[in-house]
Amino acid sequence: MEITKRIALAAAAAIKEMWGQEVAPESIQLQETRPEFEGNVTLVVFPFLRMSRKRPEETAQLLGECLMREVPDVVARFNVVKGFLNLVIAPAQWIGLLEEINGQERFGFTPVTEASPLVMIEYSSPNTNKPLHLGHVRNNLLGWALAQVMEANGNRVVKTNIVNDRGIHICKSMLAWLKWGNGETPETSGKKGDHLIGDYYVAFDKHYREEVKELVAQGMDEEQAKQEAPLIKEAHEMLVKWEQGDPEVRALWKKMNEWVYAGFDETYKALGVSFDKIYYESDTYLEGKKKVEEGLEKGFFYRREDGSVWADLTKEGLDEKLLLRSDGTSVYMTQDIGTAKLRYEDYPIDKMIYVVGNEQNYHFQVLSILLDKLGFKWGKDLVHFSYGMVELPNGKMKSREGTVVDADDLIQTMIEDASQMSADKVNKLEDITEAEAQEIARIVGMGALKYFILKVDARKNMLFNPEESIDFNGNTGPFIQYTYARIRSILRKAKAQGIEVPAKLPTTAELSEKEISLIQHLNDFADTVRQAGQDYNPSCIANYCYDLVKEYNQFYHDFSVLREEDKDKQVVRLALSEAVSKVVRNGLGLLGIEVPERM
């Protein structure tokens, strides 16, 4: 049983014994003692003054004396500061807690059972007219990390992706390829399929703007020119043909999309993310239209004179929302309703989480109400995991102008930079092969990228600075990875010297305040995982890992491990090192970050 739980139970029993009042143990406020006072755990006594009818200091004194009698193996001594009872925990308890942490491979995680709630998480949501960019990187990393955190909190998780594979933007790339592609393929060009198609999307925009400029020069209004430009008219004609199922257009669409999917898969693999189920907008939009028609029949929605279908949400404090255009075509809301229908048929979802940028906050507010009206049990409580935009020091990204920060280029750059930054450290390793050096560079480079993005509260806009992210000092992924590798080196050396860490540690080992603080910090991991799940906030895991390794480095600086002559102290410090490495590995693992065994 955890130390704090035993204290809470004993305190509740003491209150009943002394003052005849029932207090729920979980309501007793326990916190870490502030560093300026002696103690490890502080019990706040103010809530009990009306029961004791005594001054705060006297109430705390009586409680402290009672705890010393009731749990002498837990509380070694205490001191009182006003209404705060500071408890010094017996060393054997910290040793026992360390044993407990080391004895559980997945310490801090809640097991998943068949009866666990089923949570579906949607992330990525790319368009098939361009490769993934830096914004997608943040989305994918957040989605993957959130999935791991939710599973660590005892949920069954299904990771899904909705691919936007239809619409005018897709037709723009297709038309540009027909006009200027000369039959070019990923094989003949040597380009990834998503990059190849993205180039034609940029090409379309370039030619289209030239046409608009020419029409304006001839005296046409700019807005009219944008509608009358031959290229945009052709693209709209192609979209109509697609909607009508034209064999040639559909065949071209299928071929070009397959090129893109192959490219996406490479990027997803490099990012270390995957999906249990992928849905396609080309399948879901028709289902959405059916569901809207059903809502129309039931009186949830209404049709205007021009034939368009709307939802009146004024009673909910919102406005009216378009669901079907007058020509019968669907909007994004319709497609999301269709996707929800298919998902609900595929899985008995208990909770649905959408990982989508904060510019869509209103969209998901409306979607929640509509899905609830249409009978989806999780609709009312759907979660929009809303995150801020990510920018580079030199400004925003614009994909149609070709100035986008490409995900593949970013990944390659991070790995190359990691290789250069870690060269001095890696080259000092004995028997290092070129393959291992490259693998370390990949792990460090991707760790730098992922950690820098995930340490920031998702709700905030962020500035991604590649140079800062790959630093081996400060709050960075490489700093944490390097500490992990250092600990693994210590443990390997101990093993080589024949020093084993027993399952049962010596309870008589004397512990320093730094070691006790480190064990307390390790124990906080379980609460951090729970908090990350409750708040949908992977960043608290990232920052916990940084704080933990920072504290371990201070301990390592002040105390010997392998050179410690007292064998009891030595094995406890090795056990402490082992526990830190395990918690760091598991914590970073929740973020999708790998750790190198040496670097």
Read off the CATH number of the domain in which 586 is found.
Answer: 1.10.730.10
Element (H, E) at 42: strand 41-44
Residue 245 lies in a domain: no
Looking up tokens 């409306």 gives 366
Cα gap 291→235, rounded to integer Å: 28
pLDDT at 398: 45
In a domain, 50, yes or no: yes
pLDDT of residue 72: 93
What is the rounded CA–CA span in Å between residue 251 and residue 242? 10
Q: Is residue 382 part of a domain?
A: no
**Residue 573 domain-assigned?**
yes
Helix (H, G, I), strand (E, B) or coil at 386: strand
> What's the domain range around 66?
3-89
The pLDDT of residue 503: 87
122 strand-pairing partners: 160, 354
Q: Please tell me the total count of domains within the chain.
A: 2
Residue at 213 is within a domain: no
Mind spelling out the 3-state secondary structure of 400-443? HHCCCCEHHHHHHHHHHHHHHHCHHHHHCCCCCCHHHHHHHHHH
For residue 231, the one-letter residue type is L
pLDDT of residue 400: 44
At 43 the pLDDT is 96
- Write down which residue in 62, 89, 116 finishes a domain: 89
Q: How far apart are CA 580 and CA 561, in angstroms?
A: 14
pLDDT for res 404: 67
Give ∠ CA 449-389-262 in degrees, rounded to 5: 60
The one-letter amino acid code at 239 reads L
Q: Is residue 231 part of a domain?
A: no
The set of residues, in sequence order, having a beta carbon less than 8 Å from that of 497 and lying 6+ positions away, is: 562
Residue with token string 């002559």: 565
Last residue within a domain, chosen from 65, 89, 113 = 89
Residue spans of alpha helices (H) in 48-90:
49-52, 56-70
Count of alpha carbons within 13 Å of 481, Cβ hemisphere only? 31
Strands 75-81 vs 84-89: parallel, antiparallel or unpaired: antiparallel
Domain contains 470: yes
Domain boundary among the residues 89, 122, 138 is at 89
Q: Give yes or no for a contact between 98 and 525, defined as CB atoms under 8 angstroms apart.
A: no
CA atoms within 13 A on the CB side of 322: 12
Tokens, residue 221: 């209004």
Positive or negative: CA dihedral 568, 503, 528, 79: negative
Residue 114: predicted pLDDT = 95
Residue 403's pLDDT is 57
Q: What is the pLDDT along the chain (599 residues), one digit of tens a residue?
A: 588 899 999 999 999 999 999 999 999 999 999 989 999 999 999 999 999 999 999 999 999 999 999 999 999 999 999 999 999 999 999 999 999 999 999 999 999 999 999 999 999 999 999 999 999 999 999 999 999 999 999 999 999 999 999 989 999 999 999 999 999 999 999 999 999 999 999 999 999 999 999 999 999 999 999 999 999 999 999 998 998 999 999 999 999 999 999 999 999 999 999 999 999 999 998 899 999 999 999 999 999 999 999 999 999 999 999 999 888 888 889 999 999 999 999 999 999 999 999 999 999 999 999 999 999 989 999 999 999 988 877 654 444 444 568 899 899 989 999 998 877 776 677 788 889 999 999 999 999 999 999 999 999 999 888 888 888 888 999 999 999 999 999 999 999 999 988 989 998 888 999 999 999 999 999 999 999 999 999 999 999 999 999 999 999 999 999 999 999 999 999 999 999 999 999 999 999 999 999 98
What CATH number did the domain enclosing 69 receive?
Answer: 3.30.1360.70
Domain for residue 221, yes or no?
no
pTM, entire model: 0.91
Q: Tell me the torsion sign for CA atoms 205, 211, 216, 221.
A: negative
